Amino acid sequence: MVMSARQYYSGTGGAADYTRESEFFAKLKMRNGTFKLTQPSRFRELETAFRPVLAERAAQLRDVLDVGVSTGVTTVELLRYLEACGSTPKITATDLFIDAHIVEVATGVRVLADPEGWPLQYDVAGLAIRPWIRRLDYVSLAFIPRQLAKAMLQPRLRALIRSGKSEPVQMITRALSRGDSIEFVEDDIMKRSPGLAGRFDLVRAANILNKSYFSADQIRLAVANIRAYLKGRGSLLIVTRTNEKGENSGTLFEVMADGSFAALMRVGGGSEVEDLILGLQEP
Ligand X SMILES: C[S@@+](CC[C@H](N)C(=O)[O-])C[C@H]1O[C@@H](n2cnc3c(N)ncnc32)[C@H](O)[C@@H]1O
Residues making contact with ligand X (CB under 6 A): 34, 37-39, 42, 67-70, 74, 94-97, 188-190, 206-208
Look up residue 47 and give its amino acid: E
Nearer to ligand X, 35 or 138 (CB): 35
User: Nearest distance from residue 261's CB to ligand X, in Å?
Assistant: 20
Least gap, CB of 191 to ligand X (angstroms): 8
Residue 120: name the closest of 139, 96, 137, 103 by CA: 103
Task: Report d(CA 150, CA 32) in Å as an integer.
Answer: 15
Question: CB of residue 136 vs ligand X: minimum separation in angstroms?
Answer: 25
Cα–Cα distance measured from residue 247 to residue 269, given in angstroms and rounded to the nearest whole number: 11
Q: CB nearer to ligand X: give 73 or 157.
A: 73
Q: Which residue is nearest to ligand X (CB)?
A: 68
Burial code (b: 16+ CB inside 10 Å, e: under 16) for 236-265 equals bbbbbbbeeeeebbbbbbbbeeeebbeeeb
Q: Which is nearer to ligand X, 120 or 160 (CB)?
A: 120
Question: Closest separation between CB of residue 242 and ligand X, Å?
Answer: 6
From CA 203, how far away is CA 198, in angstroms rounded? 11
Nearer to ligand X, 140 or 243 (CB): 243
Closer CB to ligand X, residue 160 or residue 184? 184
CA distance 103 to 112: 6
CB of 189 to ligand X, least distance (A): 4
